[in-house]
Structure formats: structure tokens, C-alpha cells
Structure 1
Amino acid sequence: MKYFFSFFLLSMLQFFSSQVTFKIIALPENTPKDAQFFMASSLNNWNPADKSFEFKKDENGNYTLKISKIDEDFEYKITQGSWDFAEGDAQGNASSNRKFSPQTDGNLINLEILSWQKPLEKANTLSPNVSVLSENFNIPQLKTTRKIWIYLPPDYATSGKKYPVVYMEDGQNLFNDATSFSGEWKVDETLNAEYAQKKTDAIVIGIENGGAERLNEYSPWKNSKYGGGKGDLYADFLANTLKPYIDKHYRTLSQPKYTALIGSSMGGLISFYAGVKYPNTFGKLGIFSPSFWFAKQDLIFYLRKNTKKLKNSKIYFYAGLKESDDMVSNIKKAEIELIKQGVPAKNIFTKFNPDGTHSESYWSREFGQSFEWLFENN
């Protein structure tokens, strides 16, 4: 009986230590009495009204949110369910994102909301050669639809030639500040500059993420805390539905050596998985700050079974040293496994930026270099 009680107590301590509680301890005077509060963060693609991250009011009138503790840093803000009502600084202006680090923060985070601010309207930074391919592109594998953007090289209408194609996740963050909360990758500006310098050009397909379904669709494996499990179907969509459509309707170089997948964070995980599953479709992979922590053991087992097919693939890994503690080690483990299974070391490029963080601004800085390396000697 004593042993059982000790085991039960230890289990409960482990459960509570694996949770983080965010508690709102102060609100602005102009907060509506019936207001609801949400955490928008890099964990949920900055969804300002995600029911999974809604604060609950207890019997004492306190608002708290409990989430499972994860192994990587993340940024967040508190909203009233819309970016029109996000927290601001003491003067009511836009404030910097809050940051959580599992290495330095405890299990209770007290939050003081200084004001509610209405963000400035963001400028449309979309280049003329970017357009919406479809507002509701059918994804039969997942029984849903998704918005798709397409970037065409500046000379597409006049050249008559065929182009490489890059497929990128989180499409709303690639081309336009107006559609991205946390900043865009500047893919169109970068490639237009590459074109002006007579370097490699390409068609880029940006696939909008599924919002609340993002974690589910961007991992083929289930995480007991965060979901997942639909990534295999999503990879099938990329290879068997989207790519054939693009090849049919646009002038493309359809071979694997001219076809890339690029993604960041969870988008990096699914891009890597899809590239390993379909090496004869996607021959180039740009993997930025991948969330390998989400299913790291499953990923390693998967690589051991499938990596021998990747001998002709090129893989570009990028991450920042100011990300989670295991970001670098997880990438190195994947790289070691790739080489062990026969992928030539010259086909893998790994870069760790000393001041890099888990954010679009750093991924944007690296996109041009990754693109040039992936497509050099084509």
C-alpha cells in the first residue's frame, strides 16, 4: 500500500511538472466584462481564437490556461479572439511577442495585460507575379480544400521555357505581410532579385496551412499531447494531386532534380517526411528549424527503413542556436542517420546560425542561400 501511494504521488508530480499554467493576474480597465481570452502563438500558427488555447475562468474569477510543457521555445500574445483586440504595451501601442523557454521559465507564468491595441493595417507586399491559384484547391486525401498561391518567374509569359518548381508549406507566410502575422519570407522579392542577377529561377507553389489542423496535417505520426497523424495523407496530396496538377497546367521541369519541398518548423517536419517518402518526386529538400521533437523516435525509425532511396536527393538543413536546446542535436541525429544509410555527405548542407531564432525573419534571410545551393549545377 505504501509503495502504491508513493508511485501514485510520483506519477501526479510528473503530470503536474509536465504542465505549464499561464495565469492572467491583471487586465486593463476597459476590458469587456464578457471578454474571452486566448493565447495566439507559434505553437498554433498565431491563431487568435484557438479554442484549444482559450483561458478558463475559475471560481475565484481568475483566467488560466494549462498546456503540456514542450521542449522548444515559443513566442505568444494574448488576444480577445481577434487580432483587432490583441494585447499592447502601456501606451496602447503594439507590443513585442512574449517568449516562453522551457529551460528558464517555471510551471506558473503570471501575465499582466497592459492594454488592448488595434494593430496597424499591414501593407500588401505581394509582387505582381504572385497570384492566388485557387481559393479552394481540393485535397481529396483529407476531404478538405486549401488556398494555394503561385509565384511565376518574371519572364514566364514570354520565355516559352520550362522551370523548376518549389513547393512550400505555410503559404500565407511566404509572399505577403498582409497575410502573415509574424512576418513573411519575402520569397517573391528574393527570387525576383535572383532573376535580375541572371541566377536560377523557379515556379513556387505556396500551400496555406490548415490552421487548427496544422499540427495534425504536418505530422504523419501522433504525438500524445499535440495530435498529428494526418501527415501521410498530406504527403500523398503533395505528390499525387498537387504536383500532377501543376505539371499539367504550367511549363515545368517535372523530374525530381528540378522539384523541391521547403518548410519550417512543423512544415519542415512534413517536408522532410514527404521528401523521404517520395524521393522520385521531390529531389530537393529545404528543412528550416524542423520540429523533429514532435516525433523524433518515429522519425529515426522511418529514416532507417527508407533512407536508402535518397542517394540522389539534396537536403539543406537550417536552424538557429537561439532555438530550443534539442533543435541542433535532433538535426545532427537525422544527418548522421542519412549518411549512415548511404546518402552522400556532399548532398547534405547543414547550417546553424548563432543568432537565429524560431521565426520567419531568420528563415527569410536564409531562403535565398538555400535556394541557390539546392539548385546549383542544375
Structure 2
Amino acid sequence: MKGTIQILNISEYHCSLYLPPNYNILDVSYPVVYMNGNNNLEEIINSIESYFDIDCSSFILLNIESKNWNADFSPWPAPSLAKNGEDFSGCAYEYLNNLVNIIKPFIDAHYKTRTEPENTVLVGYSLSGITALYSLYLFGTFGKVGSLSGSLWYDRWIEFISSNSPINTDAKIYLSLGKSEERSRNQRIAKVGNCTQKTFDILSKQLVSTENIILEWNNGGHFTEISQRFSKALLWLMNL
């Protein structure tokens, strides 16, 4: 890895900040990718850094760890997937509000960023992927959004997006899912393939152009090649 990673605490969130090569040398500003959840930042960067300024723009990346996964990344309350598991408490709005109104302004104030929606990206995996998509209906902040193996089976998700519209209809959206993910014994999770396809179809009609959205099917299940899936999403979203 040629860039550098710093550890930050912003609004009580533990964050890892990646600065691209030449950040401290060149007098330029960069797009910012905000990444929900606890991800392998170094592995993701190692797989994409060589493409910078050839196939995709160089960018700053902030990985934000959740305080409570089932709270931060659930759009509204829902029962647990397991009989004795933790319920989803539905605090994604609070998380996104902190991201938009506290975390992003901090990054913009202290680093060389491009602040416009088209240069502000939000990506997430699994439950944090549905939260990335949820942001489209709450804020106009993120002009590029990626939901990787998103938990689009989530109760009432399809009903929600069917009856609401994205604030920024110019947004660029990347969706992906593993081909084996819908082969789950859990009846709720087993809907994920159908719900992901429905989400793609609905968003395709809500956005100004069908060229602004893609749905990519990957080999494997929910835990297959996660870092590589992030890299594929970022290459598409940040394509020059």
C-alpha cells in the first residue's frame, strides 16, 4: 500500500482514515468514500490502489466502525433473525444523521476534500449496505452509493422504497449479491435475491437514468471474497 492510514475518533465513532499516495505532495482535493462497518480497510485498498488515476479516481476513504451493528444499521425496529438473538432497534437514521452533520463536516474541515454529492460516496456490506441505500431517501448528501450483499430482505424494505423517492435522483448506485445468498434456511434471509432484484427494478425507475445503477451477481455466499466485492464496487462507482 502506497497511501497511509490514520486512526481517528469522531463523535465517539472509531474510524480509520485512508489518504491516497501523494496526498501530502499534490495541492489537489479528493472525493471521499465513507464506508459503514468494520471492514478490512488495508486489504480493500491493496486490491484497488494500483487502479488509481487509470481506471478510477484517487480518493480519501473513511471507515466508520459501528457502536452497535444491529442498532446503527437497521432502518426501523424489527425482530431478531434468531429466537434468542438481539432485535434490530432501528437507529440507522441517528447513525446517518451523525455521519452527515458531524463526521462529514469534520473530514471536510480537516482534509482536502471535494464536498459535492457527486464526490461523496457511501458504501456498506450486509446490514450496513441497506443503510447506505436508506440514506438516499433521507439525505441528498451522497451522490454515489454502494450496497454490497445488502440485507434487502429486511422487513418492509420493499414497501418503503416503493412508497418513497430518493432525494438525489442523479445518484449513481451499485448493488451486488452472492448467487448463493438466497439459499438460506432462514425464511426472511431467503428472500434476499428476490428483494435485491426488486430494489434494482424500483430504483431503475426512480433515478434519472438506468445507466446510473448496476446489479452485479457474484459467485459464492454472503461471506465470500468480501474485500474483493468492495473493490469491484469502488472501481465502478469511482470510474474515470
TM range (shorter): 0.7 to 0.9
Alpha-carbon shift at residue 261 of structure 1 (Å): 0.5
Residue from 72, 97, 118 that aligns with 1:217: 72
Distance 2:136 2:32 in 1: 14
8 Å contact kept, 1:163–1:203: yes
Distance 2:172 2:31 in 1: 14
Looking at CA atoms only, which structure, 1 or 2, has the larger radius of gyration? 1
In structure 2, do the counterparts of structure 1 residues 193 and 244 end up closer, same or farther at CA, with 3 Å as the change threshold?
same
Residue from 67, 70, 90 that aligns with 1:229: 90
In structure 2, do the counterparts of structure 1 residues 164 and 320 end up closer, same or farther at CA, with 3 Å as the change threshold?
same
Distance 1:374 1:329 in 2: 24
Q: Which residue of 2 aligns with 1:318?
A: 176
Alpha-carbon shift at residue 196 of structure 1 (Å): 7.6
In structure 2, do the counterparts of structure 1 residues 308 and 273 end up closer, same or farther at CA, with 3 Å as the change threshold?
closer
Alpha-carbon shift at residue 274 of structure 1 (Å): 1.5
Secondary structure of 1:287's aligned partner: strand
Q: Which residue of 2 aligns with 1:330?
A: 195
Question: What TM-score, normalized by structure 1, do the two folds share?
Answer: 0.56
Q: Which residue of 1 aligns with 2:23?
A: 156
Alpha-carbon shift at residue 305 of structure 1 (Å): 4.0
8 Å contact kept, 2:28–2:112: yes
Say whether 1:364 aligns with 2:227.
Answer: yes
**Match of 1:322, as an amino acid?**
S
Distance 1:240 1:371 in 2: 24
What is the number of equivalent residue pairs in this alignment?
227
Secondary structure of 2:112's aligned partner: coil
8 Å contact kept, 2:3–2:20: no
Say whether 1:243 aligns with 2:107.
Answer: no
Say whether 1:133 aligns with 2:8.
Answer: yes
8 Å contact kept, 1:308–1:343: no
Distance 2:70 2:138 in 1: 19
Q: Which residue of 1 aligns with 2:236?
A: 373
Distance 2:2 2:126 in 1: 25
Alignment of 1:1-378 (within 5 A): 129-134=4-9, 137-138=10-11, 145-171=12-38, 173-176=39-42, 186-195=43-52, 197=54, 199-210=56-67, 213-225=68-80, 226-278=87-139, 280-295=140-155, 297=156, 299-324=157-182, 325-353=190-218, 355-359=219-223, 361-377=224-240
Q: Which moved more, 1:242-251 or 1:267-276?
A: 267-276
**Match of 1:303, as an amino acid?**
I
Secondary structure of 1:222's aligned partner: coil
In structure 2, do the counterparts of structure 1 residues 128 and 284 end up closer, same or farther at CA, with 3 Å as the change threshold?
closer
Alignment gaps of 5+ in structure 2: 81-86, 183-189
Alpha-carbon shift at residue 370 of structure 1 (Å): 1.7
8 Å contact kept, 1:317–1:351: yes
Alpha-carbon shift at residue 309 of structure 1 (Å): 2.8
Cα deviation per residue 1:280-309 (whole Å; 9 max; x = unaligned)?
A: 2101011101112222x2x23332343253
Task: State the structure with bigger RCO (CA 8 A, min sep 6), 1 or 2.
Answer: 2
Distance 1:369 1:220 in 2: 26
Distance 2:200 2:25 in 1: 41
Cα deviation per residue 1:7-57 (whole Å; 9 max; x = unaligned)?
A: xxxxxxxxxxxxxxxxxxxxxxxxxxxxxxxxxxxxxxxxxxxxxxxxxxx
Alignment gaps of 5+ in structure 1: 1-125, 139-144, 177-185
Alpha-carbon shift at residue 197 of structure 1 (Å): 4.8
Secondary structure of 2:21's aligned partner: coil
Identity value in percent: 29
Alpha-carbon shift at residue 271 of structure 1 (Å): 1.1
**Match of 2:201, as an amino acid?**
I
